[in-house]
Each structure stands twice: as structure tokens, then as C-alpha cells.
Amino acid sequence: MTVLVTGSRGRVGRALIDLLHARGDAVRAASRNPADLALPDGVPSLSLALDEPDTFAPALDGVTSVFLYADGAHTEAFAREAAAAGVRHIVLLSSGSVNEPGAERHPIGRSHWQAEQALAAGPVTSTFLRPGPFAANALGWAHSIKAGGTVDLPYPGAYTDPIHELDLAEAALAVLTDPARQGGAYTLGGPEALSFRDQAEQIARGTGRPVTVNPVSPEAWKESVAAYVPGHFADALLDYWRSSDGEPLALAGGVEELTGRPARTFATWVADHAADFTA
């Protein structure tokens, strides 16, 4: 098995590379800027950009399996090139938003839905991993926590089930290496429903730094992130948080189903990333 990992600068892709390399599997790390990657000895890097179809064929040469980040606009072309190269299995990092009604029109779900549809219609066996919010989303609070120990949130009582990137990587490894699990769709989440206020409190406990949550209006939050979050995307996030404000959600059991062990807690994620909030 030779695995091509796209998005190798991402936390999930990088963790998956380490897992595959530790097993002795042949793995290639793909990125738009491969020279920027810091990889284990012996792992080759190559250029691949999911919005540049000309990079697909060279990257896929000799590959049998692919870990793919979602890009709905070009997944059909990627699937064709993968089939021509002899790829037998594609694992797509999709999104739990695909499970929601109207995902094909949703600002967050649409690209993932399009990617799933393109792969499902193609000739290569494909498996879809549908995670909920990443625990690493909390890194968006790191600057303000380090600067003043505060987090501005429009819906502090909104619940999510944040998932550790290592759990996603191990779930991907499971479906890449077990033919019995290939071809399905798995919804993945963390082991507990936590409000944003709960998450901030766990960051405070895990880092030893006080963290104060400042409730702000949705409009103020949207304005504060306008430089890096498109307006329609921000609106979708606000709608999602509003719908889960004070309402713990049902938990997904996909991590334990695939890996045979419970998902890591948010407290574990905080311990793993404490330096990001303190350094």
C-alpha cells in the first residue's frame, strides 16, 4: 500500500503521516508548498493543489490509497485521475454538516457534499469521514487568552462535541488499512458535549491561566472576524451556535467504532496543546 496524504500541512494529515510512517507503510506527503513541510525521515513530499488539476496525475503516480481533503469544485477531476492511476481507495475528510438537511446549499456543508457526490459517482471505492467541530478550533482563542485572558463569544452556551485531530487521524488509518471498513460513511465526534464556556474553563484548568468569557453580540463577533471569515460563513456559524445554545447535542460514536477505543476528551486535547495558550 502506498498512501498519498493531501493537505499535509494540516493537523489531521500530518498526524496520519506519522501513524503510517510508524507502521512502515509507504506514504507520500502532498502540499501546495511541499518545501515548507517538516516530515519524518524517509517520507517524500510532492506538489499537489486541489484547485490545480494539472498537479493531480504526477502526484497520483504509483499510489494505491489517498487521504483527501474536500474540494467540491475539483473532486470529480481528481477521482478520474485517481482511477487512471490505479488508485483503489479514497478516504475523504468530509464534514458532519453533510448530515444536515439542505447540505447541498449550506455554506459550510456544500463543498463537502459536492466532494462526496463526485466520489460516490466515480469508479474508486471511497469512504467518508464526517467529523463535527475540531477541538483545534479553540486555537482561535489562543491570541486573546495569551494577551488578556479573555474570550469574546456570541453564544457562550452553545454546545459542540470537539474532536481531537489524533482521533481523526487514527480513524482514517483504520479505514485505510481495514478493507471491511471501506466504502461507508462515518460520523465522528468527541466523547462529551461541551459548551464554549465549558471549553474555556477546561483551557483555564489545563494551562493554569485564568480565562474570562465575555458575551458579545452576534453582530460584534461577526465584525471582529470579518478580515478572515467570509460573511456568509460567519452567518452559518452563528446559526449553528444559536441552534445549540443551551442544548447539548447527541454524541457520535464513530471514533470508537473505527478505532476500538473511546475518543480523547477535550481536557486531553488541552494538555496536548497547553503551550499554544501559554507560550
Q: What is the pLDDT of residues 64-119, one digit of tens each?
A: 999 999 887 899 999 999 999 999 999 999 999 999 889 999 888 999 999 999 99
Per-residue confidence (pLDDT) for residue 73, from 0 to 100: 81
How would residue 205 be classed by pLDDT, with cut points 50, 70 and 90? Answer: very high
Which pLDDT score is estimated for 107? 87
Question: Which pLDDT score is estimated for 15?
Answer: 97
Instruction: Give the pLDDT mean for 260-268.
Output: 98
The pLDDT of residue 53 is above 80 = yes
Residues constituting the chain: 279
φ/ψ bin of 230: left (φ > 0), alpha (ψ from -120 to 50), beta (otherwise): beta
Sign of CA dihedral 119, 120, 124, 128: positive
Asked if pLDDT for residue 197 goes beyond 90, the answer is yes
Domain spanning 2-131: CATH 3.40.50.2000: no
Once rounded to an integer, what is the mean pLDDT over residues 205-233? 96
Q: What does pLDDT average to over the chain? A: 95
pLDDT of residue 164 exceeding 80, the answer is: yes
**In which band, very low, low, confident or very high, does the pLDDT at 22 lie, cut at 50, 70 and 90?**
very high
* pLDDT > 90 in the chain, percent: 94
pLDDT of residue 249: 86
Flag whether pLDDT at 267 surpasses 90.
Answer: yes
- Which of the 8 DSSP states describes residue 157? T
Q: Can you give the pLDDT at residue 72?
A: 74
Residue 218: its pLDDT value, please?
Answer: 97
Q: At what angle do helices 165-177 and 11-23 cross, to 10 degrees?
A: 50
- Integer Cα distance of 254 and 262 in angstroms: 9
- Average of per-residue pLDDT across 192-207: 98
Domain ranges in the chain?
2-131
Residues 141/168, Cβ–Cβ less than 8 Å: no
User: What are the distances in angstroms from CA 243 to CA 107, 125, 240?
Assistant: 16, 35, 5
Q: Average pLDDT in the 108-132 region? A: 95
pLDDT value at position 63? 98
State the pLDDT at residue 211. 97
Pairwise CA distance, residues 130 & 112, whole Å: 9
* pLDDT, greater one: 29 or 108: 29
